[in-house]
Structure 1
Amino acid sequence: MHRSLLAPALGAFLSLPAAMSPASAQQRFPSSVGDLAVETVASGLENPWGLAFLPDGRMLVTERPGRLRLVAGDGKLSAPITGVPSVTGRGQGGLLDVTLDPNFAQNRLIYLSFAEPRAGGNGTSVARARLNERGTALEGMSVIFRQMPTINSNMHFGSRLVFDRTGALFVTVGDRYSQRDQAQNPANHIGKVIRIRPEGGAPADNPKKQGWQTEIWSIGHRNVQGAALHPDTGQLWTAEHGARGGDEVNTPKAGLNYGWPVVTYGIDYSGAKIGEGTTKAGMEQPLFYWDPSIAPSGAAFYTGPVWPAWKNSLFVGALAGQMLIRLSTQGETVTGEERLLTTLGERIRDVRQGPDGFLYLLSDAADGKVLRVRPAR
């Protein structure tokens, strides 16, 4: 049985089984705003992870084994862009998220998060570089953040990159799986939301509490793989993996503790209890949680003109759940859930709104795709 903080109110939003289109290149799915068409824009991507739109409408797409490509509007893939940092491409590691500098049109800077191989293990790092005018190479690559300490693990790297309205960069980093208790230790970067300047280092208005690493924004996170700014408030919203159950939606605030692994709505993979329960003084409650888990990855608020009824809905991809989730919101409240594309059969890794107002998804597979969601004709 699905349980959430909104379980009594969800029934009206749950989607019905999808109907297949006769056309092999397109599938149709019901939704609260009419049928949706899902089209394949590009294929042949190996475990694509992050997507960012360039000003000209082309897409930068990361592939987890360590490649970065440009995807044209007609779906043509570029050769791998050179100058990408080396990655640990094992387990959940590899080349992860990509985002553009807020002033990309002037400086052509992009930012990449990745599992960085290091002496004794690896860790989530962030690099920035200039994309050359031809879009074939990254130049002037520099690492601006390294999650410390280095851990020998191929699990729970995070990691999403989101610029806030001040120009600071949020970086989500995981608990590395074997180090979950360290998510409560503010002296390291394990299981945290990080906030840094574009060139690296901590902004002056970070919490900087006693005993905290200066780059830390909030603590007590497991493995955040979805993050987006609310279009009206500018508040960061995150979607976070739980264990068996306990996937969470949070709005991380400066200096607060989000509980993992002391409080959680999930249980361990063995069935054992985790932590002390679901609440504890001084630890924040999620806005919404999923039980059983959907394995959330990728998140985007909808602001486009195509579906006005979906304005300010938070869309979250589901890996294990193989669907797209729409959460309707009012302020910092989740008011309903709609489950979309439930028979698509794809692990949804990333979700973005395109410049055309349609939704774009990445499917996590050896033959991964860029998918476009639009109203069915």
Structure 2
Amino acid sequence: MPEPTLELPLAFEVGTFIVLGLILLFDLLLVVKRPHEPSMKEAGLWVTFYVSLALIFAVLMFIFTGPDYGGQFVAGWVTEYSLSIDNLFVFIIIMARFSVPRKYQQEVLMVGIIIALVLRGIFILLGAALISNFSWIFYIFGVFLLYTAYQQAKDTGEDEEHGSENKVIGKLRNVLPMTDKYDGNKIRTVVDGKKVFTPMLIVFVTIGLTDLLFAVDSIPAIFGLTESAFIVFTANIFALMGLRQLYFLLGGLMTRLIYLKHALSVVLAFIGIKLILHAMHENELPFINGGQHIEWAPIIPTFLSLGIILGTIVIAVVLSLLSPKAKQASIDAKLEEDARKARGAADIEK
């Protein structure tokens, strides 16, 4: 892995963050001023716009920095985008569990994305500081990713559905006055003359806790592909941009990507191994090889990493779409959604 010597024109770095900040601000204002469920066409156009924006930025990275750092950005973006899609699975469960009205799901997703950006920004700064001062931290990152890959591979998804009702949320329900009814997108409302919280607060807390867990996983993963904090941060921003629209675009297709979790476990395990090999090559720990670098430890090239990551994800998506099990899962999810809507309509009539 190259040393973190990426140098870019200051105007390019500043301009990048200004443009991305303005786009995110516009997206946020759009959600706040016009809460609605986007059509497939609207969601598709937004996703295409954000993906095109990331690809344009990748081309600029190749032009300004050369193929190595450009490849690192693409590999990082693809990895983070895949992990973000996995995040969407959990968001779907949260939305269904708390029966969030479709009209206000955009706002919930936008809040989730903002929380994710803040948390990942903090982890990126901490991670960059650690790896610049302690090369042995790659051993810890590598082992952590291997453990995460193992957990991801054996996870059936059954625990996720009940993950939102954890101790923190249970305490919130016990401590705070709360109604079971939504009042638009409000966090607080008035019931019988008293101010109480709505379930939207619980939804936001759940989304925030979920983002924290995913940030813990995703940041070590991308630091296994690049040591440049600029690349790490921009790859995360581009991965999260358009995630809200992707949620509505994919719709029922999400339930058919049954092998995506397995693909992500392979990707995380691969990056974990790559991190450990890098740590061995840069070794400074006195109890390993006498504190000397382990020169025979291979360094995996960026483009080989990119090929393995892309290949694994593409294979998983194709196998998922062709699987009869995935088709049945999609049918079951549709029936469950119809039943949930029917229950909601019955509650309104009452």
TM range (shorter): under 0.3
Looking at secondary structure, tell me which structure has more strand per residue.
Answer: 1
Name the larger-Rg structure. 2
* Larger relative contact order, structure 1 or 2 (CA cutoff 8 Å, min sep 6): 2
| TM-score normalised by L of structure 1 | 0.22
Q: TM-score, with normalisation over the residues of structure 2?
A: 0.23
